[in-house]
Amino acid sequence: MKHLEKFRGSLKLLILYLLDKEDLHGYALMQKLSELFINYKPSSGVIYPTLQGLKRSGYIEYVKFEADEKSRNENKNNENENENKKNNHSKKLYRITDKGREYLKENDKKLKRIFEHINNINEFYDLGGKSLKEAMTIVIKEIPNLSEKQKKELKTVMTESSKKIKMILLGD
């Protein structure tokens, strides 16, 4: 639970950081956040509740903007009214408030640590961490189906790998 709260706090600061650069709609925020991470793309189920919380706190506001000309023409040509509603490209554009800028400024050191952590995670993935994480996920999923021989082999491989990693980090 503590990890989830820390993640939400980090996400709030990242969203405010991005909105301090430019006004964005929810999908654009998801895209910009996914560009920061090698192996993470936030879902709408994470972004929109966070945006609602930021709005309730007075850190952001939104403005609706009209659909572009192409979208309006597409909607005029569409005979089905339900399709018109589904294809309406007007979106909420989120904007940081002065209160949000102040909060961002107060948490500048924390934001720097968040970016350092993101860079560390991205480099970890570049070093092979992605395949290591995928292997761990498979092992955890398959544990109920493993034979005793497979479990013993996995224990040996994981113990040896862990020792080798520690030796590299700590020196021979």
Residue 92 or residue 111, greater confidence: 111
Task: Tell me the pLDDT tens digit for each residue of 118-152.
Answer: 999 999 999 999 899 999 999 999 999 999 999 99
- Which parts of 22-107 fold into alpha helices (H)? 26-36, 44-56, 69-77, 81-87, 98-106
Residue 7, pLDDT > 70, answer no
* Domains detected in the chain: 2-106 (1.10.10.10), 118-170 (no CATH)
User: Hey, what's the torsion of the CAs at 41, 17, 105, 113, to 10 degrees?
Assistant: 40
For the segment 27-48, the average pLDDT, to the nearest whole number, is 90
Categorize the per-residue pLDDT at 83 as very low, low, confident or very high, splitting at 50, 70 and 90.
very low
Name residue, tokens 């969203």. Answer: 15
DSSP state of 57: T
CA distance 101 to 114: 17
Q: What pLDDT is attached to residue 92?
A: 86
Q: Are 79 and 100 in contact (CB under 8 A)?
A: no
Give the predicted TM-score (pTM) of the model: 0.71
